[in-house]
Amino acid sequence: MTRPGRRILFLGPPGAGKGTQASMLARALGVPHVSTGDMLRAAVAADTELGRRAAAIMARGDLVPDELVVSLVRERLDEPDAVCGYLLDGFPRNVAQAEALDEAVGDDAIEVVILLEVPEGELVARLLRRAAEQGRVDDNEETIRNRLRVYRRETEPLVAHYGNRVVSVDGVGTIDEVFARIVLALARTR
Ligand code: ADP
């Protein structure tokens, strides 16, 4: 079904700052920030059936099975607050998930894909810093390397899937600098 409003997707490697930027942009646009990482971490914290299935997989930096995240996202996008648009962050993460999303919302429902780009060395440094600060279980060096590998192999091919809807944004700089670039890039797509 085609919906009114803005439907935006954030793409980029772990550590690129997607979560931070996506939540700022969602607030600015007044659309819900739909983050599968946040939803899965909440499920783990609440020790739900889904959380129990996902915990070990997430701790390794591997992808949780498609059917679990796909149904999570489908349910979330059916909530009334998503009628006027949404901002997807961390989903889709592979071509099968992108195809499931196309089927759920329509092939051209996603209007803009913001690809947040940060060099690999900087990503690892940022993730190690976050590991020291926040103690996220999936932020140790070996898991970080695995998440980057999984990103290159599974998620990067989505750039081709979304073709000319993809807008690249340089993710190196302060949070406010990067946010300004995103807003500008988005304005150009109107
Ligand atoms: P990051 O952007 O730092 O990689 P996320 O918060 O997006 O972290 O996701 C953390 C973990 O949650 C991933 O490493 C993966 O195990 C799981 N996950 C999140 N989104 C998905 C998804 N769409 N499909 C499969 N697994 C996912």
Strand partners, 8: 87, 112
Three-state secondary structure call for residue 112: strand
**Domain-located, residue 30:** yes
- CATH assignment at residue 167: 3.40.50.300
The residue range of the domain holding 120 is 6-34+85-187
CB-defined site of ligand 1, < 6 Å: 14, 18, 36-37, 40, 57-58, 61-64, 69, 90-91, 93, 97, 138, 147
Question: What is the position in ligand 1's atom list of the atom closest to the CA of 91?
Answer: 23
C-alpha to C-alpha distances, 66 to 72, 93, 105, 156, nearest whole angstrom: 10, 9, 17, 16
* pLDDT digits 0-9 by tens, 67-124: 999 999 999 999 999 998 999 999 999 999 999 999 999 999 999 999 999 999 999 9
Among residues 148, 134, 146, the alpha carbon closest in space to that of 15 is found at 148
**Domain-located, residue 50:** no
ω into 65 cis (within 30 of 0): no
**Domain-located, residue 95:** yes
**Domain-located, residue 172:** yes
State the helix-helix crossing angle for 141-150 and 49-60, rounded to 10 degrees. 100
**Neighbouring residues of 21: CB distance < 8 A, sequence distance ≥ 6:** 10, 114, 116, 171, 175, 178, 179, 182
Query: Token digits for 148?
Result: 């980057």
> From the CA of 185, how far away is ligand 1's center (Å)?
25
- Among 33, 101, 147, 153, which residue has the most ligand 1 atoms within 8 Å of its CB, making it the best to mutate? 147
pTM of the full predicted structure?
Answer: 0.92
Question: What is the position in ligand 1's atom list of the atom closest to the CA of 62?
Answer: 16
**Domain-located, residue 66:** no
| 52 classed as catalytic | no
**Domain-located, residue 113:** yes
Place of tokens 């340089």: 170
Number of domains in the chain: 1
| 136 classed as catalytic | yes
* 138 band by pLDDT with thresholds 50, 70 and 90: confident
* pLDDT digits 0-9 by tens, 29-83: 999 999 999 999 999 999 999 999 999 999 999 999 999 999 999 999 999 999 9
**Domain-located, residue 91:** yes
State the helix-helix crossing angle for 141-150 and 120-134, rounded to 10 degrees. 130
* pLDDT digits 0-9 by tens, 144-171: 999 999 999 999 999 999 999 999 999 9
> From the CA of 106, how far away is ligand 1's center (Å)?
23
* Cα-only R_g, the chain: 16
**Domain-located, residue 103:** yes
